[in-house]
Amino acid sequence: MKTSQTTYNRRSFLKASLLSGGGMMLSVSWLANAKAADKLQALNLPQQWTQLNGYIQITPDNQIKLICPNPEFGQNVMTSLPMMIAEELDADWKNVVVEMGPHDNAKLGPQFSGGSNSVRMYWKPLREAGAAARQMLCEAAAQTWNVPVGEVTTKAGVLLHASGKSAKYGEMASKAATLPVPKGMKLKAPKDFTIVRNSKKNVEGLKVVTGKPLFGLDYRVDGMLIAMIQHPPAFGMKLKSFDATQALKMPGIRDVFSLKLYEDGFEQGGFDTRSFNDMVVVVGKTTWEVMNARKKLQLDWEPIGDTKDTMMGRGGKQEVVVPGELESTSAQLEKMAAWAKKPAKQLRKDGDPETAFKNAAQVIERTYNAPFLAHNCMEPMNFFAHVTDEKAVVAGPLQAPGWSEPTLSKLLNLPADKIEIQMTRMGGGFGRRAYCQYMYEAALISKRTKAPVKLIYTREDDMTYGIYRPMYTATYRAALDANKNLIAFHVKGGGIPEHPIHANRFPAGAVDNYLAEGWEIPTNITIGAFRAPRSNFNAAAEQSFLDEVAEAMGIDPIELRLELLKRAKDNPVGKNNEYDPDRYAGVLRLVRDKSGWNKPGNETYSRGVAAYFCHNSYAAHVVDMVSRDDQPYVERVFSAMDCGIVVNPDSAKNMVQGAVVDGIGNALYGSLTHKNGAAEQNNFHNYRLIRHNEAPKQIEVYFVDNDLDPTGLGEPPFPPVFGAVANALYKKEGKRFYNQPFQPDIKKRA
């Protein structure tokens, strides 16, 4: 194997390697650009995890293979990432094949799918990889044909020369791999793209629709056993004792035992969780046999009391006290209302908001609340593990293998190079699969049983285990002067166990006197990222409130937002405003125009609008609501997005449409409550999701056309849907809705 090495400042290639059997493998390694690095810090990623690695293989038969580093759960990275390489490589897309790579710390970095960051972080590095590979192929052809390299051109995977000479990439690949990796490659201008910005079908679409074994639940090996766990019935309880006599008599049962996930004093990583540390495990031959045997367990639980967890994060090691009370939603709401009256942590302050409110001619104040939400991935949690004294092989759906491997290594007492993590396609993620305790459980069960094991959660297990979207509340206040001008804005938000406030986002920077505050209440109910963390509530409350302010001012809600954004552009207030006012205003104008916001002909609809910035992108929606069977129904939605260059337009539209449907369902129906520490909803008979016939008939998606580097798309369309639904409901029902989900309050109407 021959290796050449060079550097491209902070994002570049490390080596080009000649593969046995011919062909070329270009291994690219880079550090993210500064903006991406900032994003990683916001995600609590340690700096050493910012390095990623991708691989391009060109075979003699002219196929191009990308080992996709990032897990796939429907965001279509297995298509969009290779599209970026193929663009600069000038490849024939028909010859591109894609494989999901295993976890590899050294080559592929953290391999994190989340934060709407996959395409953004890979945009330049993978294009650089493609451009460098193309140049090396041209060099190889030039040397072979004895012509200047500047005279060699490419088209759809073929090298060409004016003399008539030509060769497919595969014919020159082995020679190209022996050449030094070129520096400072010029990348294509967006106007020259032929693959990027052109829709390509999902490379795994056929396998998905024909039921090929892609998902974790499909994973099988000979001799594999099935395991299920029984966790405590409520947060704040632990195992006291159990009797497995009857369960062990059931057909197909191999073993029943108790399991402790973390021993006392275990140092958890930043994305580890301890929803239930004590559990009882049933292991057997088949899922059905294990499910039936689990019902025969005799279990005795007891209160756990306050506990301490040792957590490792960006701030170093810290002791976290976890309260032991058995919490109920009614008490949680009372506690939040009491905390909302207490002094809170100041997150940002511009001007003199206290004086402005004191002297205001009118003060508008509204409080918004939202419950815990369950992720409800279509595929419940599951993981395969085969652990021996020498090594461990684990396989299943997870979003963040790099974050989980150190904990798995410590739990198994195996070095990382003795652990193989295989990533399957995920049947949904939404942040839930970034928390991999189910992988740890599977590995510990396999180690105990000395056999290959697949751990399976039922829907009830999954929904009652935790890792929820937190409970939130926020009080918004606006001060108007005698001429109905907005002179001050105040938001004070809190939650269990985190607050939702993004203090430097709109309308920060657009109001002279501005104050943002936050507070948090500890809990033993575990929470985690949920499609646009915090933003999904913050946008709902803020955008609902802005509509009320616009009404009090006697101004169109879109025009109010545009006026504030103009102020933020022309004469911004304060520092660290996260958003670009021009781009924010751009999606509002686009959705206004495409929806015909105030044009005749739309009077039959109750229309609501909302816009929001998060994950470096801008989204706006107009929701058109009607009555159907005396219930609100969103019939049409117009969506506008600014996420920079859209790599795969059809896929991007699908992501926005999915976010719209998901947002409508959660706004109207989503809620998970607790009583004495136990989740009151445990399956779809009592946890309401949007149904097929409730999805909008029409969702039109429009993208701002610009040449900016791509930013996030999986999460940004989701948050403003909540606010647009709330504002449309006001037009339809004649009253404001302040508590999510909205449907229970709709039912209370006279």
What residue ranges of the chain are covered by domains with CATH 3.30.365.10?
3-198, 216-308+381-456, 471-747
pLDDT surpasses 60 at 103: yes
| 3-state secondary structure labels for all residues of 110-134 | CCCCCCCCHHHHHHHHHHHHHHHHH
What is the model's pLDDT at position 9?
A: 31
Exposed (0-12), middle (13-18) or buried (19+): which is 410, by Cβ within 10 Å? middle
pLDDT of res. 273: 84
Indicate the pLDDT class of residue 14, thresholds 50, 70 and 90.
Answer: very low
Q: How confident is the model at residue 313 (pLDDT cuts 50, 70, 90)?
A: low
In this predicted structure, the answer to whether residue 482 has a pLDDT above a threshold of 90 is yes
> How far apart are alpha carbons 561 and 25 in whole angstroms?
51
Scanning 154-305, the segments in alpha helix (DSSP H) are 169-176, 205-209, 245-248, 287-294
Mean pLDDT computed over 662-691: 97
Q: Which of 198-202, 261-265, 456-460 has the lowest mean pLDDT?
A: 261-265
pLDDT tens digits for 335-353?
Answer: 999 999 999 999 999 999 9
pLDDT value for 66: 74
CA 493/CA 475 separation, integer angstroms? 6
DSSP states of 402-455: HHHHHHHHHHHT--GGGEEEEEPBPS--TTGGGS-HHHHHHHHHHHHHTS-EEE
Residue 32 binned pLDDT confidence (cut-offs 50, 70, 90): very low
Instruction: Please name the residues in contact with 252: beta carbons below 8 A apart, sequence gap of 6 or more.
Output: 284, 285, 286, 289, 290, 293
What local confidence, expressed as pLDDT, does residue 13 receive? 29
Rounded distance between C-alpha atoms, residue 159 and residue 97, angstroms? 20
The domain 471-747 is placed in CATH, from the list 3.30.365.10, 1.10.1030.10, 3.40.50.300, 3.40.50.670, at: 3.30.365.10
Q: pLDDT tens, 391-426?
A: 999 999 999 888 899 999 999 999 999 999 999 999
Q: What is the CA radius of gyration of the chain?
A: 27
pLDDT at 330: 97
The whole-angstrom distance between residue 78's C-alpha and the CA centroid of its chain comes to: 16
Kindly tell me if the per-residue pLDDT of 695 is higher than 90.
Answer: yes
In this predicted structure, which of 204-208, 346-350, 438-442 has the lowest mean pLDDT? 204-208
Residue scoring higher pLDDT (22 or 560) = 560
Secondary-structure breakdown of the chain: helix, strand, coil percentages, each rounded to the nearest 5: 30, 30, 40
Report the pLDDT value the prediction gives residue 216, as an integer from 0 to 100. 96
Instruction: Give me the pLDDT at residue 69, please.
Output: 76
pLDDT given for residue 11 in this prediction: 28
Output the pTM of the full model. Answer: 0.91
The answer to whether residue 543 scores a pLDDT higher than 90 is yes
Per-residue pLDDT for 108 more than 80?
no
Please determine, for residue 3, whether its predicted confidence score (pLDDT) is greater than 80: no
From 721, 609, 746, 738, select the one nearest 666 (Cα to Cα). 721
Give residue 682's Cα distance to chain centre.
Answer: 23
More confident: 102 or 163: 163
Q: Of the candidates 657, 684, 658, which has an alpha carbon nearest to the alpha carbon of residue 670?
A: 684
Residue 309: pLDDT band with limits 50, 70, 90: confident
What is the 8-class DSSP label of residue 62? S
DSSP state of 101: P
- Asked if the model's pLDDT at residue 206 lies above 70, the reply is yes
Using an 8 Å Cβ cutoff, are 230 and 279 in contact? yes
Q: What pLDDT is attached to residue 34?
A: 33
Q: What is the band of 748 on the pLDDT scale with cuts at 50, 70, 90?
A: confident
Tell whether the model's pLDDT for residue 498 goes beyond 70: yes
Asked if residues 614 and 578 have their Cβ atoms less than 8 Å apart, the reply is no
CA–CA separation, 745 and 600 (whole Å) = 31
Q: For residue 27, what pLDDT is reported?
A: 52
Structure-token pair, residue 392: 């461990």
pLDDT at residue 25, as a whole number: 62
The owner of tokens 């306050």 is 306
Confidence of residue 104 (pLDDT cuts 50, 70, 90): confident
* Per-residue model confidence as pLDDT tens digits over 258-276: 999 999 889 998 888 878 9
CB 517 within 8 A of CB 347: yes
- Report the chain's mean pLDDT, rounded to a whole number: 90
CA distance 615 to 719: 11
Q: Which CATH number fits domain 3-198: 3.30.365.10, 1.10.150.120, 3.30.9.10, 1.50.10.10?
A: 3.30.365.10
Q: State how far the Cα of 278 lies from the Cα of 595, in Å rounded to an integer.
A: 54
Residues 261 and 274 sit within 8 Å (Cβ to Cβ): yes
Q: Which fold has domain 216-308+381-456?
A: Aldehyde Oxidoreductase; domain 4 (3.30.365)
461-500 in b/e form (b: 16+ CB < 10 A) is bbbbbbbbbbbbbbbbbbbbeeeeebbbbbbbbbbbbbbb
Percent of the chain surpassing pLDDT 70: 91
Whether residue 249 is predicted with pLDDT greater than 50 in this model: the reply is yes
* Mean pLDDT score, 531-549: 97
φ, ψ (nearest 5 deg) of residue 739:
-120, 125
Residue 499 pLDDT level (bands cut at 50, 70, 90): very high
Of the candidate ranges 16-20, 455-459, 602-606, the one whose mean pLDDT is the lowest: 16-20
Q: How confident is the model at residue 174 (pLDDT cuts 50, 70, 90)?
A: confident
Q: Please say if the pLDDT value at position 721 is more than 60.
A: yes
